[in-house]
Structure 1
Amino acid sequence: MFPSRHRLGAALVIALTAFLATACASQAPPAVQPDETIAGTPTAPPPESTATPTADAGAEEDPTCETLIGEDIVADFESIGWSAQAEKFYLGDLELEHGVQCVWADFEGPAGDHLQIFGWAPISEEDAAPAQAALVGEGWVREESAEGVYITEPKETTIAVDDEGYGMTYLFAAGWVKLADTKQGLLLIEWPKS
């Protein structure tokens, strides 16, 4: 049985994930309305288009705790009195520059361990391979998928798990690595921005 503090954190991630999935799936696209004009009434010219940001534009910035996850998630955390503390992103002894690891919790309230962890960092293939091997060597579980390589902490040391039984998990993909306190929590990370 898991302490209630961990069930709350896992329940919050699951609830937020379900909310986002439901909200995205239930919104119908807006109906196209024909332009209504009255004869003799001038219409304004259409606004000039602006350049659409590319993934490279987001890559020039470093993520922050407030940009790493969606604005709605940040607002939900803040509405319950949570704030974020940013830390450097480490994989073992390797510090990944331009990355961030965020701990979201109520740091002003009584001491406890109700929290959520999210992280993202760029990583080279040369650094990713030995980092993955080191985690697996410590007993972490490696799974390959279409999204990339998942490395999850061993069940014996897991404190909080998601619906599928996964605790703290890294997702390695081409050029970056994500971290969340559960595998499902990785779905809340929206970096790099596109």
Structure 2
Amino acid sequence: MTLHRTSPVDTPSRRLRAGGTATVGVLAALVLAGCTSPTPSGVSPETSAPAPAETAAAPGESNAPDTVVDTPDATCENIIPAATADDFKSLGWTSQEEPFRIGAKALDDGIQCKWGDTNIASDRVQIFGWAPIDTTEAQTAEQELVASGWKVEREADGTYVTENPDWLNGRGVDGYGLTYFFGDGFVKLADTRQSLVLVEGPR
């Protein structure tokens, strides 16, 4: 008698077990896929927040810290060039400091200097002065000088107020003796108009 190999019977319970195994495999793949989020193309997995932009300064303003510039006090040596002061000293001259005056009024923070040889009685001296002054004070001073006979010459760089030529008696240069120069916020004085170029603000 011939025996035939028989295949296992494909029963419903066998199909159920096979199907269950496939289902478990699919669920496992889905779970693994859910744990890893896909990264959009062109975007790195980790990005840092952008650094805050530096605040731009408004027009006319600067981010640089404010600086304060101190103006030195006026002295007989720092209102004229250092070379001029050295020349005077080489001649044996010294300076005599006085308040800066226009008529009877003394101007605060100003200085008037007379350079000369104190060992010799002589009128050979040089006079220089400088003082801060506001617009109102300058106008009042000019009016008082003119009322006293001084002459006014207004030019592009400022106002020159000089002694009346009739008072000079040969003194002065080109007809100019003591002369005040009123600039923007300051007034200078020299024994001649030409010497005003030697007077500077305190350095």
Whether the 8 Å CA contact 1:158–1:168 is kept in 2: the answer is no
| Deviation (angstroms), 1:112 | 1.4
**Whole-Å Cα distance in 2 between the matches of residues 137 and 57 of structure 1?**
38
Matches within 5 A, 1:61-72: 61-72=72-83
Whether the 8 Å CA contact 2:160–2:182 is kept in 1: the answer is yes
Which among 65, 69, 79 is matched to residue 57 of structure 1? 69
Higher RCO (C-alpha 8 Å, min separation 6) = 1
| Deviation (angstroms), 1:57 | 3.2
**Whole-Å Cα distance in 1 between the matches of residues 140 and 111 of structure 2?**
20
Unaligned runs of 5+ in 2: 1-66
Runs ≥4 residues deviating over 3 A: none
Whether the 8 Å CA contact 2:94–2:117 is kept in 1: the answer is yes
Confirm or deny that 1:112 pairs with 2:122: yes
> Counterpart amino acid of 2:72?
E
Whether the 8 Å CA contact 2:99–2:110 is kept in 1: the answer is yes
Matches within 5 A, 1:1-194: 57=69, 60-107=71-118, 109-158=119-168, 160-162=171-173, 164-193=174-203
Q: Secondary structure at 1:98's aligned position in 2? A: coil
RMSD: 1.6
Q: Percent identity?
A: 45
What TM-score, normalized by structure 2, do the two folds share?
0.64
What TM-score, normalized by structure 1, do the two folds share?
0.66
Whether the 8 Å CA contact 2:130–2:200 is kept in 1: the answer is no
**Whole-Å Cα distance in 1 between the matches of residues 127 and 89 of structure 2?**
15
Which structure: greater strand fraction?
1
Tell me which residue corresponds to 2:51. none
Unaligned runs of 5+ in 1: 1-53
Whether the 8 Å CA contact 2:159–2:183 is kept in 1: the answer is yes
Whether the 8 Å CA contact 1:158–1:167 is kept in 2: the answer is yes
> Counterpart amino acid of 2:182?
F
